[in-house]
Structure 1
């Protein structure tokens, strides 16, 4: 069994189609040629140079390295790792079908394989940092092999997608072995490191402190329930120096190891009514199950959802305005890097 990293678009725009269709698609723009016609990778490199306007040989080789596997290297039973760009989660599936080329599907869905998505919405925080490093490769498609990744992810699958004790294995001799895995998303990697630090220091009521600090930085006056039973509300917030402005918000904060389900959302909506709040904010470090995601549209004018990714984005966006004690507990500094190009 091999592990393959797949991306569902630069911004996750194809993610829902991947999951709903039970497939992975090689979403390479206007690549309307059957890949089985190429019997050697060098032929595919030549195609990219001569017919696809790669212009540079290195670029053509890079593209061929990502396109070749779906038709020639992947096998039934291999596992697909699909990092979500829409939430702080990982989806994992098993390849169940052969390579398919169907020009009738239209661009960019010509190339596909059937996949059984047997584990979706696994919180990123459950994975060791070196695995997340590999998941952050910039490639649209690449094989994940370093640091005994296959055995470790299988062990997680057998342990309810939690990392077993002693599961980590880092082989320094592999650090430069696979060029494909060295090209990674530095921003995602940094966010994962921040996430690991935060959940270690602020799980439980500590996370409520962070959310309250963010709301204060955004100009809200807040009331935070003391640690212990919260009667369905962790924070009350409203604009203005006295908190008499609009919107009035009820906030519920969860830091469990599993995504939040629909009953928690329903409870928050009921709590909003009890506290005469106009809006609700449901915060779940481990994200939300699909039963909650399906309610996003119907609750758009009433409720907002923050998962791990949203919490960190809000923390970074409002960091300069946070109170000094929170900044002292989460010491961050800005770093400037060139945006990824090729």
Structure 2
């Protein structure tokens, strides 16, 4: 088993196409089918013709990526696609190697491999720093191999959570991962991660997870809601009957709207049973709305439950909590800001200016 990252464009344009139709790849519309290219030299020559005027280093980089797509991706490989549109990660297994779809009207989607996407909404919060650095690598197609990446990604694939570097080192690697490649083509291994808005968010996210586990996350959420003018009553740690925070307006918290907040700090996805528990708590407490905070995300059934009750319930996953933290941060108490020390810096968002 080999783990590879295959992105769906700079801005994630084909994200939904890839998920809906079971593909990965795309891009590189400047060149036609890769199927005739049986050697690296032939591939390099074709790329030089297709990308005349580009820097030689960039052409070599493109050649390596397309060589990997054409020759190195094999049936059984695990593929990760970090989605730009939702900030989630899809994970699947290759059932079908490279094909070129001449009949596809969109030229940016003709280079394809088949992928059986088995998890399509894994939150980035499920991964620890080293794997997040891998996901933030600058290339579109590469093999993930540093920091026990292949075994750890298999764990995410199987159980939904990255066990971390030291959680995997004591376990044996697969025979396939331990053996060097026998391909005639140089594989494209992961590049050094480059600083981006997403990589900065990921670093903050990891820090927040490490420093606000369990009931600490409930207190952090209460501080965020207080900056919005709400009065919050936090339930004691332990069984809470589906109510972690009772929220109301006014100095006594008796004004409307009244909210019930349920906080789940685990990094695994929650089920529809939790949503139903929140629905029950809204009725029992006489609240008008509910907020479900699910750091590990929601499974499909839970998403459907919330969609069906969207006039009463909202869900914040890890990325939404981070957005709310950034928005509220400067108004939060000093003790909270010391727990999560952030510094604001304005930078030019190069990703949005790539054309």
Task: Confirm or deny: 8 A CA contact 1:138 1:185 kept in the other structure.
Answer: no
2:168 counterpart SS class: coil
The alpha-carbon deviation at position 246 of structure 1 amounts to: 4.4
Aligned equivalent of 2:301, options 277, 284, 291: 291
The TM-score, its normalising length taken from structure 1, stands at 0.83
Residues 300 and 59 of structure 1: CA distance in aligned 2, closer, same or farther (over 3 Å)? farther
Task: Confirm or deny: 8 A CA contact 1:87 1:307 kept in the other structure.
Answer: no
Task: Confirm or deny: 8 A CA contact 2:249 2:257 kept in the other structure.
Answer: yes
2:168 corresponds in structure 1 to 167
The alpha-carbon deviation at position 210 of structure 1 amounts to: 0.7
1:199 counterpart SS class: helix
Residues 155 and 302 of structure 1: CA distance in aligned 2, closer, same or farther (over 3 Å)? closer
Residues 102 and 146 of structure 1: CA distance in aligned 2, closer, same or farther (over 3 Å)? same
Per-residue CA distance 1:232-274 (angstroms, 9 max, x = gap): 1111224444445543322110012320111211221222222
1:173 corresponds in structure 2 to none
Per-residue CA distance 1:278-320 (angstroms, 9 max, x = gap): 3221101111112223345433332221111111121112110
How far apart, in 2, do the equivalents of 1:219 and 1:103 lie? 57
The alpha-carbon deviation at position 58 of structure 1 amounts to: 4.4
1:327 counterpart SS class: helix
Residues 241 and 287 of structure 1: CA distance in aligned 2, closer, same or farther (over 3 Å)? same
Task: Confirm or deny: 8 A CA contact 1:123 1:258 kept in the other structure.
Answer: no
Task: Confirm or deny: 8 A CA contact 1:282 1:304 kept in the other structure.
Answer: yes
2:76 counterpart SS class: coil
Aligned equivalent of 2:45, options 39, 43, 57: 43
2:253 is the alignment partner of 1:251: no
1:288 counterpart SS class: coil
The alpha-carbon deviation at position 116 of structure 1 amounts to: 2.2
Aligned equivalent of 2:271, options 246, 261, 268: 261
Per-residue CA distance 1:166-198 (angstroms, 9 max, x = gap): 4259xxxxxxxx896124353333333333332
Task: Confirm or deny: 8 A CA contact 2:23 2:114 kept in the other structure.
Answer: yes
Task: Confirm or deny: 8 A CA contact 1:32 1:103 kept in the other structure.
Answer: no
1:309 corresponds in structure 2 to 319
Q: Which runs of 5 or more residues in structure 1 are unaligned?
A: 170-177
Q: Which runs of 5 or more residues in structure 2 are unaligned?
A: 171-187
How far apart, in 2, do the equivalents of 1:197 and 1:137 lie? 20
Task: Confirm or deny: 8 A CA contact 2:104 2:110 kept in the other structure.
Answer: yes
How far apart, in 1, do the equivalents of 2:32 and 2:309 lie? 43
How far apart, in 1, do the equivalents of 2:192 and 2:62 lie? 16
1:22 corresponds in structure 2 to 22
Cα RMSD after superposing both structures: 3.1
2:281 corresponds in structure 1 to 271
1:212 corresponds in structure 2 to 222
- Equivalent pairs counted in the alignment come to 331
Residues 43 and 241 of structure 1: CA distance in aligned 2, closer, same or farther (over 3 Å)? farther
Aligned equivalent of 2:231, options 221, 224, 228: 221
1:33 corresponds in structure 2 to 32
2:173 corresponds in structure 1 to none
1:98 counterpart SS class: strand
Task: Confirm or deny: 8 A CA contact 1:96 1:115 kept in the other structure.
Answer: yes
2:342 counterpart SS class: coil
Per-residue CA distance 1:200-220 (angstroms, 9 max, x = gap): 332221111011111111222
